[in-house]
Structures are given as C-alpha cells and as structure tokens.
Amino acid sequence: MNRNVYQFGAALASGIVFGFGLSLSGMLNPARVQGFLDIFGAWDPTLAFVLGGAVVVAFIGVQVMKLMLHPAFDDSFHVPTNRRIDAPLVIGSALFGLGWGIGGFCPGPAVASLALGLPQSVLFVIAMLVGMTLHDRLWSRRT
C-alpha cells in the first residue's frame, strides 16, 4: 500500500483523538478558556489540568522519539534547532496570548470547534488564516 495512505491515516487518527480530547475536556468552549484566564474573578482551573496532561504526554512522546532511529512515516525527525529568544518570538507569543485571551481559542480548539458551527469560531479561524497568510507573504520572506 502507498506510504501516503498510511501517513494520511495516521494524521487523521491523530486529529480525531486530539479533537475528541479537546471536546471531552471542554476546551472547545471559549468561556472555559476565558474563565481560566480570569484569575481575580470566577477562576476555572480546568485548563491547568488539560495543559498539565498535554505536557506529560508530550514529555513521554519526546522520550520515545529519542529512542527511535526515525519516525514511522518519514526518514528523519523534524525538530526545531533554534533555541534563541528574540523579538519576533516574544512579539508572536504575546500576539498568540492576546488572541487566545480575547477569543478564547487557540488554533487546535478553534479548528475543532468549527464542527459546532459557532460563529465566533468561524470568525477566529478566518482571522487566524488571514494572519498566517500575511505572515507567510510578508514576514517570512524577509529572512
């Protein structure tokens, strides 16, 4: 069978598990995310447990990756090598955080929430795609 079919199947299964996990944890609800950020009001600590679980899973995944010669569907791992903290990283992180706080979404949950048909998720994803396109067309060509 074609290698691309296996890649597609693995990506689809990963996306389904990720989306199911986001739905199960309530992270498709922007009010839940905004409740986590409201530390002086009606604080909702649920997101801390979701993020903690994600860190544990990622840590285990990285440890397993270190034991492998190559990934299942590629010849090598594509791991970032740049460890420099510079202005674009800090500004991009701040913009990401502002968008997350204002909209109540980050990219994964925003795309997954499209299945719910929420107008704010559609608007967020459109704005996200516009921002990604602008970055690709303007900023990334400067380097």
Q: Residues 13-51: pLDDT tens digits?
A: 998 998 888 888 888 888 888 888 888 888 989 888 988
pLDDT of residue 61: 93
Tell me the C-alpha distance between 56 and 72, whole Å. Answer: 22
**What integer is the mean pLDDT of 72-92?**
88
Average pLDDT, the chain: 87
Contacts of 115 (CB under 8 A, 6+ apart): 19
Give 3-state DSSP helix, strand, coil % of the chain, rounded to 5. 75, 0, 25
pLDDT of residue 90: 93
pTM over 0.85: no
Q: Output the CA angle 22-52-101, nearest 5 degrees.
A: 60
**What integer is the mean pLDDT of 119-141?**
86
**For residues 34 and 101, is the Cβ–Cβ distance under 8 A?**
yes
Tell me the C-alpha distance between 51 and 49, whole Å. Answer: 5
